[in-house]
Every structure is written in C-alpha cells, then in structure tokens.
C-alpha cells in the first residue's frame, strides 16, 4: 500500500509540477488540450515536425492520458518559446519531441532547455534523430546534442511508426550512459513496450 502510494505521488509530480531553471526558463506542467498555452505549444510542434514525424491531434489527445508521458511548453518570462514531449521510462528519460519556436532559435533557449532537463532528471536521457548525413537539418541536430554531451550511435534503428505512417530509420543519441548493441536493444524494447505498446523492429546496417 505504501509503495503504491509513493509511485502514484511520483507519477503525479512528474505530470503536475513545473520544472524551473535559473535563467528565466522553465517547463510547464503537463498541458491540457484546448488550453491557450497548449494551443501555442501545439503550433510550434506542428510547425517543427513533418506529418511523418509527429502525432495527429487525435493521437496526441489519447497519449496525453498516459501516466508516463508529459507534454510541456518551454516557457521564458511568461512566453511560450518551445515544446518538450518526454517520457519517464524504466531506466531512462525518452525525449520524443523537442523544438524551439522558429522565431526564438537564436536566443539560446534550446541549450538552456536541454541543460535544465539534464539537471532535473536522475537517469540517462535518450533522443532519436535522423541519421547523420541525411541532410543539413539532420547534421545540425546531431551537432546540437553532441555539444550538450550526448553520444551518437552510428547504428541505425527503426522505431514504430505513428498511425498510418511508414517507418523510417533513425539513430539514438544518449546522455548519461553509453549504448552498446545490447543497450540499444534494451532501450528499443522499452520504448516499444512503454511508448508504442508493440514490438520494435530493429535493423543494423553498417555504421554511418
């Protein structure tokens, strides 16, 4: 009984409490659809990711009920400057989507936001990115996370696709741990089970 209550409180805190930094930047609590801040965050999300890379509004509505998932606005001095969609999984934090508004990307908010997340989680952080060398944007994202201490796995993986969309290869980057082949398999199995609720198809082509 005591353990269950503790777990429930932890889940509530993960969803309900804001995460505050010391540079005027903070993450909102888990957002509620149709709230004004949600709509601003959703606009940034929809602009930053193509239809293949993001959930539909209906899918988002469903996944927002999940106790392990948090959809937060990145706030700076009362303004929405970005969006962070992340999961508190078994053994690591999985950042499913992170973006700063196109009009705010020169302000250092991306670096501050990831640094804030790193300072608040007590576990490794995993992100998936397009394979390095795919295009300029892919190279830029890999360089961004590398500067913040993330390691790039040269072995491509395939995560489950969103509803009605094809799968595509991606690469994992991790902060606070290293990923060998067995580690990648554990991460993918956890993401598949706890995020997508299905088996994960993994491919191992030659390193990028």
Q: What is the 3-state secondary structure (H, E, C) of 130-173?
A: CCCCCCHHHHHHHHHHHHCCCEECCCCEECCCCCCCCCCEEEEE
Using DSSP, state whether 41 is helix, strand or coil: helix
73 and 12 assigned to the same domain: yes
Q: Is the pLDDT of residue 76 over 90?
A: yes
The pLDDT tens digits of the residues spanning 110-149 come to 999 999 999 999 899 999 998 876 778 888 999 999 999 9
Q: Kindly state whether residue 92 falls inside one of the protein's structural domains.
A: no
pTM score: 0.86
Question: Which residue among 73, 107, 141 closes a domain?
Answer: 107
Residues 149 and 79 in one domain: no
User: Is the separation of the CB atoms in 152 and 57 below 8 Å?
Assistant: no
10 shares a domain with 76: yes
Give percent above pLDDT 90 in the chain.
55
CB atoms within 10 A of CB 195: 19
Q: Which residue has the tokens 């491509």?
A: 156
- The predicted pLDDT at position 12 comes to 64
Q: Residue 7 pLDDT more than 60? A: no
φ and ψ of 190, to 5 deg: -65, -45
CA–CA separation, 128 vs 192, rounded Å?
13
DSSP 8-state assignment for residue 122: S
In a domain, 90, yes or no: no
- CB atoms under 10 Å from CB of 114, counted, come to 22
Q: What is the pLDDT of residue 1?
A: 29
Within a domain: 72 = yes
Report if residue 116 sits inside a domain: no
pLDDT band at 179 (very low <50, low <70, confident <90, very high): confident
Q: How confident is the model at residue 65 (pLDDT cuts 50, 70, 90)?
A: very high
Residue 93 resides in a domain: no
Residues 59 and 133 in one domain: no
Alpha-carbon span 60 to 33, nearest angstrom = 9
Residue 139 falls inside a structural domain? yes
3-class SS at 13?
helix
Residues 61 and 130 in one domain: no
pLDDT of 165: 85
Do 134 and 207 sit in the same domain of this protein?
Answer: yes
Residue 203: the pLDDT is 36
Residue 178 domain boundaries? 124-208
Instruction: Using the 3D structure, point to which of 107, 140, 170 is the last residue of a domain.
Output: 107
Task: Judge whether 115 lies within some domain.
Answer: no
Kindly indicate the confidence band of residue 5, based on its pLDDT and cuts at 50, 70 and 90: very low
In this structure, the answer to whether residues 70 and 139 fall within a common structural domain is no
Residues 6 and 73 in one domain: yes
Residue 64 forms part of a structural domain: yes
Total domains present in the chain: 2
Question: In this predicted model, what pLDDT tens digit does every residue of 147-171 receive, in sequence order?
Answer: 999 999 988 888 888 888 888 888 9
Residues 76 and 128 grouped into a single domain: no
Q: Which pLDDT value is given to residue 75? A: 96
Q: Are 2 and 78 in the same domain?
A: yes
Q: Hey, how many other C-beta atoms are within 10 angstroms of the C-beta on 18?
A: 12
Same domain flag for 80 and 128? no
């Amino acid at each position: 009984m005591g353990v269950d209550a503790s777990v429930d409180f932890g889940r509530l805190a993960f969803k309900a409490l804001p995460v505050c930094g010391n540079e005027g930047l903070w993450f909102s609590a888990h957002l509620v659809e149709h709230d004004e801040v949600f709509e601003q965050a959703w606009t940034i999300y929809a602009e930053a990711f193509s239809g293949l890379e993001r959930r539909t509004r209906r899918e988002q509505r469903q996944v927002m009920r999940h106790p392990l998932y948090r959809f937060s606005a990145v706030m700076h001095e009362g303004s929405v400057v970005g969006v962070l969609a992340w999961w508190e999984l078994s053994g690591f934090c999985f950042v499913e989507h992170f973006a700063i508004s196109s009009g705010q990307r020169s302000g250092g908010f991306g670096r501050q936001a990831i640094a804030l997340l790193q300072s608040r989680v007590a576990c490794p952080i995993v992100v998936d990115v397009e394979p390095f060398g795919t295009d300029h944007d892919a190279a830029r994202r890999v360089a961004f996370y590398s500067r913040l201490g993330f390691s790039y796995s040269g072995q491509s993986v395939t995560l489950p696709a969103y509803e009605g969309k094809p799968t595509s290869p991606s690469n994992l980057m991790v902060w606070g741990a290293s990923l060998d082949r067995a580690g990648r398999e554990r991460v993918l199995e956890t993401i598949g089970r706890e995020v997508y609720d299905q088996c994960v198809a993994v491919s191992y082509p030659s390193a990028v």
